[in-house]
Structure formats: structure tokens, C-alpha cells
Amino acid sequence: MHNILIHGLCSIGRAEEALHMYVEMKHKDCSPSLVTYNTLMDGLYEVDNCEKAADIWDEMLQAGLQPDIISYNTAFKGLCACK
């Protein structure tokens, strides 16, 4: 359910609200999945918040998740957009 809401918020450019939902999700002991991290990174890159998107990448790795092809494509596309 959280991933659906986070995706919806990111898709309408409200990445900061999605980020708050992600933090709330963690406080409720609901572990974010790789989909959660990928969606947040994409949403943050779309609103030019490159620094926070990079922080999400770091948090994903610290959580012990292995990036997949979607993670790498999102990061490369986002970093290129950030110049």
C-alpha cells in the first residue's frame, strides 16, 4: 500500500510528500523494498532533488538491498539530468 501511495505522489511531482511517507513507513517498522527506493529516487530526480536521491541510494545499500537494473537506470538517468 505504501509503495502505491509513494508512486502516486512521485508521479504528480510531490516527491517531498512521498519522502515523508517513506520516513513514516520506517517509523511504523514497515521495511521499504527495492521498489520503494527506486520509486523515491525517480521521483526525487524528477523534481531536481539530486542530493536527496543520492541519499536514498545510500540508504538502500545500508538496508542491505542489492540494486537492480531499474535502480541503475534510474540513477544514471537522474544523474545525467542533474548534470
Third-level CATH fold of 2-82: 1.25.40
Look up residue 53 and give its amino acid: A
Whether the pLDDT of residue 50 is over 90: the answer is: yes
Read off the pLDDT of residues 56-67 as tens digits, 9 standing for 90 and up. 999 999 999 999
Q: Which three cell numbers stand for residue 36?
A: 520503494
Q: Which three cell numbers stand for residue 69?
A: 537494473
* Rounded distance between C-alpha atoms, residue 36 and residue 2, angstroms: 8
Can you give the pTM of this predicted structure?
0.93
Whether the pLDDT of residue 25 is over 80: the answer is: yes
Q: Where are the domains of the chain?
A: 2-82
